Amino acid sequence: MGLAKPDYANIAERGDAETSVALGALERELADAAAFTRKHAIAAIYHAGSGHPGGAMSSSDLLACLFGAEMNLWPDNLKDPHRDRFVLSKGHGAPALYAVGSHYGFCSPRSALKLRKLGSPFQGHPHVLDLPWVETSTGSLGQGISVALGMAMGLKLQKSQARVYALLGDGELQEGEVWEAAMCGAHHQLDNLCAVIDYNKLQSDDRNDNIMRLEPLAAKWRAFDWAVAEVDGHDIPQILKTFRRAAATNGRPSVIIAHTVKGKGVPYMENVPAWHGSVKLTREQAEEALTALGANRLEIQEFLDDNNG
Amino acid sequence: MTTTAEAPSLIGTSGDSLREAFGKALSELAGEFPKLVVLDADIAGGTGVHHFRKSHPDRFLQFGIAEQNMMAAAGGLAAVGLIPVVTTFAVFCLRAVEQARLSLAYARRNAKIVASHPGLDVGPDGGSAQALEDIAAFRAIPGMTVISPADPLEMAQAARAILEFDGPVYMRTGRSPAKRLFGDDHKFEIGKGEILRNGKHVTIVACGVEVARALEAAELLSQENISARVVNMATIKPIDAKLLARCARETGAIVTAEDHNILGGLGGAVAEALAATSPCPIEFVGMKDEFGASGEPEELAQHFGLSAPFIAEAAKRAIGRKGKR
């Protein structure tokens, strides 16, 4: 279990020697959480025989920072109306969400390996009736950000201090609905809404640039009057600081454009569009990926043995 | 049971349009339902919710001309405990069917979609604006309740009923001034059809603007000594299968009448229900798988075969098919 957000905010805002030690410990813990997220997602996709590994690898550090530090969302406050909310707008990133959730106690890591199986709550895309902590059902790109916006609007109406985070894919930004939501979020001054873009530059068939250009991306969001920050989406200290700054923004929603590497941590997947889509991993591919992600022999066996899937 | 016989003086009296009746009802219900919020896409004057905007500006949420975002955002508003009522024209609800499917119905949100300007009742705006597919589209979404009230009183009652009901609802209002069909003792209930006029030779099952025309048709038929029963089927989903089976058994022939494509709407729902319980001859009055056009609603009903004489003819055809294979 990671540190609760109030502790983290305290640590981040002080900055003396004692707190920098604590911050270092938190960053190491988040790095462990991100590594676990990647390994678990690979194992789950291996057992499922299908799933999207590339985007799971690129978003793991962002998810670890959100679930492990930034958000006031824990298994024991899931019924609290003032909890923070997370919406996986890029619903195909489900394996990483289930993995990070299992790391932080929202579900058991073993059960979350039953990805995409009949009768399992861990569907190919998150479904809120199966897993309440995923907050809404996603999988059709563009809708998650609108749902998150509705949550942010409703929380403000009810005078709640809770924040709402939505993780979007870059290809997802080609959906017109995202820009409807962008206009609406700024108009309603939803400073409790934070969009995070997993900008790995690749989408299903090819590079964004070859499918439908997104650039100048930061300028687009600025033009929609959002507070824009760009960050290395694998640099945990930088991600943490960026989230804190976003939370301090008044009168405007925030967007964090996180530059990431698709397939991050698995050399044969990195920056290869073929690993975006739903793929079948062989035992050898899964082992090679887990090894690259730092798993030892025993861990690999535990993740990949048949009785797990 | 309210029958027209008990309240004949109201028939033919023009009242509020259904959209006006809905908008006024929402304003009146706001105090009783503190979680109610109304979503609009720059069309409040058209949908009737300008009444709510005026009475409860803090709970009136403007989304601009962006229905997809509005529909999915309703899922978020419901997720944090509010009761969102999404309002726009029926044709623009079609634009956001997938948002209603995923973010409202699949997530089983307590959100309501209320669509004005359905069907040929739109009139002069023409074919592009006349949604004749919405009942079919929303009916096919699991867990979605679909309602189309027939008169202003029933509309007001339905406004309350959908707020009391826990789950996603799609409800049609209407653009034109609507005739008062029901007396003050009328009671709308989700999922219940109602016999408005008794008859023994055929049953006309109608919803929305076609209910008034069905009553007219029954009058025309009585002049030819044909006794037609008229059922107001204000809830299309879940359909009142029990009442339909009874009508099929007792009258042996059915006509459905709707301001909608005959594919997939009320007619489809009735046929599906009766196929399972009490098959009998069924004739379908509605749009015959085509688009509408500009014109006044009554002209259009005449032109496209939705007016009372067409319903009466369909009734005779259905009766003629009794006992034949």
Rounded to 5°, angle at Cα A207 from A202 and A208: 80
Residues in B closer than 8 angstroms to A142, CB to CB, are 68, 72
Quick check: B319 contacting A, CB < 8 Å? no
Q: How far apart are CA B167 and CA B164, in angstroms?
A: 9
Q: How far apart are CA B261 and CA B33, in angstroms?
A: 35
> Collapsing DSSP states into helix, strand and coil, what is residue A292?
helix
Per DSSP, A282 falls in state P
**Burial class of A133 by CB neighbour count within 10 A (0 to 12, 13 to 18, 19+):** buried
Distances (CA, A) of B227 to A192, A242, B233: 63, 75, 19
Residues in B closer than 8 angstroms to A152, CB to CB, are 76
Q: How far apart are CA B284 and CA B314, in angstroms?
A: 7
Closest CA to A100 of A109, A91, A87: A109
Neighbours of B118 (CB within 10 A): 28
Instruction: Residue A183: give the domain boundaries.
Output: 5-308
Cβ of B82 and A149 within 8 Å?
A: no
Domain boundaries, chain B: 16-179, 194-317
The reply to whether B16-179 and B194-317 are identical in fold is yes
Q: How far apart are CA B245 and CA B194, in angstroms?
A: 13
Q: How is residue A39 written in tokens?
A: 């390994």
Choose the catalytic residue: B20, B67, B154, B194: B67
Neighbours of A81 (CB within 10 A): 12
Q: Tens digit of pLDDT for each residue in A213-268?
A: 999 999 999 999 999 999 999 999 999 999 999 999 999 999 999 999 999 999 99
Q: How is residue B41 written in tokens?
A: 């896409």
What confidence score (pLDDT) does residue B135 get? 98
Cβ of A158 and B81 within 8 Å?
A: yes
Least confident stretch, A146-160, A266-280, A281-295, B160-174: A266-280
Domain with residue A255: its CATH number is 3.40.50.970
Rounded to 5°, angle at Cα A241 from A239 and A244: 110
**How close, in Å, is residue B74 to chain A by CA atoms?**
6
Closest CA to A162 of A174, A151, A170: A151
Cβ of A127 and B59 within 8 Å?
A: no
Q: How is residue A248 written in tokens?
A: 């301090």
- Nearest CB to A184: which of B58, B63, B77? B63
Cβ of A137 and B106 within 8 Å?
A: yes
Quick check: B241 contacting A, CB < 8 Å? no
- Nearest CB to B76: which of A139, A151, A187? A151
CB B148 within 8 A of CB B236: yes
pLDDT exceeds cutoff 90 at A6: no
Helix locations, chain A, DSSP H: 5-14, 17-48, 53-65, 94-103, 143-157, 176-187, 208-211, 217-223, 236-247, 283-292, 297-304
Helix locations, B96-133, DSSP H: 97-99
The residue to which tokens 């609760």 are assigned: A4
Residues of chain A whose C-beta is under 8 A from some C-beta in B? 81, 85, 127-129, 135-140, 142-143, 146-155, 157-158, 160, 164, 176-177, 180-181, 183-184, 187
- Best residue in B69, B85, B103 for a mutation probing chain A (most A CBs within 10 Å): B69
Cβ of B66 and A127 within 8 Å?
A: no
Residue of B nearest to A179 (CA): B69
Would you state the CATH architecture of domain B194-317?
3-Layer(aba) Sandwich (3.40)
Q: Tens digit of pLDDT for each residue in A46-93?
A: 999 999 999 999 999 999 999 999 999 999 999 999 999 999 999 999
Residue of A nearest to B105 (CA): A137
* Those residues with Cβ within 8 angstroms of residue B161's Cβ, 6 or more apart along the chain or in another chain: B188, B189, B190
- Nearest CB to A137: which of B64, B98, B102? B102
In what helix (H) or strand (E) does residue B279 lie, and over which residues does it extend? none
Q: How is residue A147 written in tokens?
A: 């749902």
Could you list the pLDDT tens digit for every one of the 325 residues in chain B? 444 444 444 444 567 899 999 999 999 999 999 999 999 999 999 999 999 999 999 999 999 999 999 999 999 999 999 999 999 999 999 999 999 999 999 999 999 999 999 999 999 999 999 999 999 999 999 999 999 999 999 999 999 999 999 999 999 999 999 989 999 999 999 999 999 999 999 999 999 999 999 999 999 999 999 999 999 999 999 999 999 999 999 999 999 999 999 999 999 999 999 998 999 999 999 999 999 999 999 999 999 999 999 999 999 999 999 987 6
Quick check: B84 contacting A, CB < 8 Å? yes
B16-179: CATH, from 2.60.120.10, 1.10.150.120, 3.30.365.10, 3.40.50.970: 3.40.50.970
Q: How many residues does chain A have?
A: 309
Q: How far apart are CA A162 and CA A83, in angstroms?
A: 6
> Collapsing DSSP states into helix, strand and coil, what is residue B87?
strand
Residue of B nearest to A181 (CA): B69
> Collapsing DSSP states into helix, strand and coil, what is residue B256?
strand
Quick check: B99 contacting A, CB < 8 Å? yes
Residues in B closer than 8 angstroms to A176, CB to CB, are 68
Residue of B nearest to A87 (CA): B76
- Nearest CB to B80: which of A129, A137, A151? A151
Cβ of B81 and A81 within 8 Å?
A: yes
Confirm whether pTM is higher than 0.80.
yes
Neighbours of A18 (CB within 10 A): 10
pLDDT exceeds cutoff 50 at A269: yes
* Those residues with Cβ within 8 angstroms of residue B290's Cβ, 6 or more apart along the chain or in another chain: B304
The residue to which tokens 């032109």 are assigned: B303
Q: Has B67 been annotated as catalytic?
A: yes
